[in-house]
Amino acid sequence: KCKQGKLFMFCRVQCHHQPSFRLLSDQYGARTALTLSYVASSMVFLLLSMSTNVLLLTVSRIPSFFIQALPGAQMVITDLTTPAEHADALGKLGLCFGIGIILGSSLAGSLTTHFGIYFPCYVGLIGHLACILMVLIFIPAQTKSQSKGNAAEHNMPHSSSVFSLKEVIRLLKLPGVMDVFLIKVLSSLPIGLFMMMFSIISINFFNLEAEQSGYLMSYSGVLQMFFQGLVIGQLTSRYTDRTLLMLSVSVFSGVGLAMALMTNVFQYCIIAFPMVFAFCTVGIITDILLTKSVPPSDTGAILGISASVTPLTRAVGPTIGGFLYRRYGVSSFGYLQLIINVPLLLYIFKKRIPLKEGKVR
């Protein structure tokens, strides 16, 4: 219960701060926001290295309010690349973070085994201090182009604040933003719930050992890196955003039906391929559509709102996912996926989302 409480607190903090972090990026620059993120990460590892009880462990999570490395890097990418390059660049960024997560997990286990439980904290602290130096050296103080910067100053509301709820509501009311945001949330929610329960499902439903469950998770991670780094960029150069959005939602519908009929781990390994493809495609395409729907001055804020979907799913996932699994079994996640995505596909087709169709050239 203590572990679940800390996880819920961390997810709520991340969910609330994602939009605020993006507003901070828009107002003070991506380098400032990214530096703040790595300073906060350094503080977390420093406090973790001194944690000897539950109280200190809980206190060590306080700086996580400002940890937004991936959103900060996405902000830099969208500022320094052209719209035509966004999908490919964001995909490769996801690939790099995925490699880091997989290698970091393996390295942390090895370091803990050989040098003790606190040694990975020291390594993490040194790594994030190095990241601070690299951000200050290699990322320009103003990542937006001069024209974008002037537009940002012109369009920025005088009453805007880093923690302005009105600013978030204003962005969601812009034409096309709410539709795309809801598509992102609803289409990915069932898979998010399934993944939150995956460790339990892999042991109880697939009858796997803990080590085998870890390998299965790594398989999903490798698929995600493959699609983000090598596939989606190629697809966005050949097909329109609308085509890819409808394709991914259609694939999600088929995945839902397959999950409802799934009975063993071999079937899951086959289903995981289209499932991860759809998940990655929806995430990247909706982010691109959201940045196209707002002025350049608001790209950071809207990406922050978009990024808050993941911590929101993590916060509510264990409760909703646990209820579905206990009450209706694994097939319920598939049926939920099917029930949500079929109407979504019809909605996208009927309303012609996005409003402005076409490839970015």
Which one of 138-147, 200-209, 340-349 scores highest in mean pLDDT? 340-349
Cα–Cα nearest to 70, from 249, 185, 228: 228
Say if residues 341 and 274 touch (Cβ distance below 8 Å): no
Q: How much is the pLDDT for 304?
A: 74
Which one of 137-141, 232-236, 262-266 scores highest in mean pLDDT? 262-266
Joined together, the tokens standing for residue 90 give: 């964001």
Q: How much is the pLDDT for 1?
A: 47
Q: How much is the pLDDT for 194?
A: 92
Look at 108-117, 176-185, 209-218, 255-264 and tell me which has the smallest mean pLDDT: 209-218
Of residues 106 and 240, the one with the higher pLDDT is 240
End-to-end CA distance of the chain: 51
Of residues 252 and 294, the one with the higher pLDDT is 252
Query: 3-state DSSP call for residue 157?
Result: coil
What is the rounded CA–CA span in Å between residue 105 and residue 46? Answer: 18
Q: Could you tell me the pTM of the whole model? A: 0.72
| pLDDT, tens only, 48-102 | 888 888 888 888 878 877 777 877 887 788 788 887 777 778 778 877 877 887 7
Phi, psi of 47 (to 5 degrees): -70, -35
**Helices 241-261 & 265-292 angle (0-180, nearest 10):** 150
Beta-strand runs (E) in the chain: none
